[in-house]
Copies of this chain bind each other. A is one copy, B any other.
Amino acid sequence: MSDPFVVVGADAAGLSAASKFRREAPDRDVVVFEKGRWISYAYCGMPYFIEGRVERMSNLLSLSPSDVDERGIDLRRGREVVAVDPDGKTVTVETTEGDTVEQAYGDLLVATGGRATTGPFDVEGVDGAFTLHDMDTAAAIDAYVAEPDAYDPGRADVSAVDRGRVERNAAMTAPETAAIVGGGYVGVEMAEALRGRGLDVHLFQRSSHLLPPFGEAVGERVADELDAKGVTVHAGTPVEELVGDDRIEGVAVGDGSGNRGDPLSVDLAIVGVGIRPNTELLEGTGVGLGEGGAIRTDEYGRTTLPDVYAAGDCATAIHAVTGEEAWMPLGLTANRAGRAVGSTVAGNRSPVGDIAGTAAVKAFDMEAGRVGLVEDKAAREAGFDPVRETVTAGSRSGYYPGASPTDVTLVADRDSGRVIGGSIVGPDRAAVRIDTLSTALEADMTVAEVERLDLAYAPPFSPVWDPVLVAAKVLNGTLDGD
């Protein structure tokens, strides 16, 4: 019997790999080490749990440990892989009790994910200040937001939960005013969630518009929507410091020109300023790191070490537009790469697939999607000469009730005419329309080709010229020098 396929991390990438491997190589062993108690949880669902739209924390779990067990996967929770010896083909595993064991591997997948960065902010030990990147924090925020006598402990209905932390937060007076530091996905989604819980919500964004990777048109409409729903958006307003020692008291803000603005008193602060890849276990192995400090991988998810793979938020991927290495920690990328690695290790070589940076986000009744290189800076760095147009078109035939203005930004390379990026925002089916552009990008289509796409027309869903086609028409005119 050969040494097992060892997987580090029991979330999207790790369990996708283990499950696929188990089906395709039923005679070989697979061992999954998970340092914590949580497995296979929906990170992206946490804001909706906190909002109360999702009733129970258990709703966010895809697989329970017993489900994993039934699949024939040897899952070992509370076991942290702290070192890898690529020559000896072993990993060093620490238990929560502090014991250390060596585990031999035939193939190794590092699927350790990422963790929230806090920038200059220290949330540790400050009650009411949080970063959101794990289920225990989600449970704690949910408990903290509720009045002590109104909290339903049945919401955090998963045995893995840090019950003590939940109870301590549930016992505190509920907050009334929240500051969210950072206007990315997490910030926007948390603004909606906390507003839904009745808080006075302030969203701070250092740069001039929200959701920078989605481009300005999306940022502005999302800001308008947040504003219309009662969230105070402070764009171009960096938070300089969290105020408060044991419990959060306020945020100190800059005015964007280096001077201090008026501080704001808050009793809840959520810091969402980014994530970084977890790569510590590979220190000293000489493994190649790439974009964002993530583990460099090739088209099959292989690292620079023999028989060592990486997938998910800790790994780089190949960008469909640039053909270059990129690091974009997103859910589908992790699932897909894990699944492909599981197949490859089982002997069925499977590419992990390019990424196009496709993403979607909801802000109250507004939807947005983005793909590829939307910002000029990113496009220029990749060697393109970006030309862009933003159009506003109807989501349905004009006479059909519910037709809503939909903004499409399309970015092309001037010389080749190739579509390299785009975004869509609007209240009516805007987000899923981005998949049209994702597919076009992955097929290396030009703007002229997109303009001639035969997209669906039906008055309740799309006008004769879908908003994507309108954008392509206008951008094509610009490229032609009309």
Contact = CB atoms under 8 A, between A and B. Distances in A.
Interface of A: 12, 42, 44-45, 48, 53-54, 59-60, 320, 330-333, 335-336, 351, 353-362, 367, 369, 371, 397-401, 429, 431-436, 438-440, 442-443, 445, 449, 452-462, 464-466, 468-469
Contacts of A439: 436, 439-440, 443, 445, 453, 455
Contact of A429 (B432, B434, B449, B464): B432
29 contacts: A42-B459, A44-B397, A44-B459, A45-B459, A48-B400, A48-B459, A53-B401, A54-B400, A54-B401, A60-B399, A335-B464, A358-B454, A358-B456, A359-B456, A361-B458, A367-B461, A429-B429, A429-B432, A431-B460, A431-B462, A432-B432, A435-B435, A435-B436, A435-B466, A436-B438, A438-B455, A439-B440, A439-B443, A439-B455
Given A42-B397, A435-B435, A330 B460 contact: no
Contacts of A455: 332, 358, 435, 438-439
Contacts of A469: 332
B399 A48 contact: yes
B456 A435 contact: yes
A331 B464 contact: yes
Contact of A431 (B355, B445, B456): B456
A443 B354 CA distance: 17
Contacts of A466: 435
Q: Which 9 A-B pairs have the closest CB atoms?
A: A443-B443, A353-B452, A360-B458, A360-B456, A59-B399, A439-B439, A356-B454, A435-B436, A362-B460
Contacts of A401: 53-54
A466 B335 CA distance: 12
Contacts of A397: 42, 44-45
Nearest to A362: B460
Given A432-B462, A433-B432, A433-B435, A357 B454 contact: yes
A42 B452 contact: no
Contacts of A449: 442
